[in-house]
Amino acid sequence: MGDNMEKNVEFTMLYDIYGKLLTAKQQEIFEEYYLFNLSLREIAENKQISYQAVRDSIKTSETTLINFEKVTHTLELTQRIKQAYKLCESEDLNKKRQQIKKLLKSEDDI
């Protein structure tokens, strides 16, 4: 996977966690860029704002999402929980897996 693809996946995951903390306009622009794969120009035309305003909004949103993660580590913790859960999938650890699943309520919640 290329660096750009990894960056996109990471920002999408950060957005899933912290997106509601961005302004409504930042959310709209971020979603159009990262989720709907529109270009900066397309977004600028759709919103009737400058290319630079779109670029600035995306950069501000990225910085904000990164800063939230630096403070809360929610994405990191979620990934570690998923890794721990996967380690418990062997038959030998099935009882522990069931205990962890009960503790976490459902693997879908992670």
DSSP string, 17-46: HHGGGS-HHHHHHHIIIIIS---HHHHHHH
What is the pLDDT averaged over residues 64-76?
95
The residue ranges of every structural domain in the chain are 3-72, 76-109
- State residue 108's pLDDT score: 55
Tell me the pTM: 0.74
Q: Which residues contact 101 (CB under 8 A, 6 or more apart)?
A: 85, 107
What is the pLDDT averaged over residues 25-38?
97
Query: Does pLDDT of 1 surpass 50?
Result: no
Q: Residue 92: which pLDDT band, with cuts at 50, 70 and 90?
A: low
CATH level 3 topology of 3-72: Arc Repressor Mutant, subunit A (1.10.10)
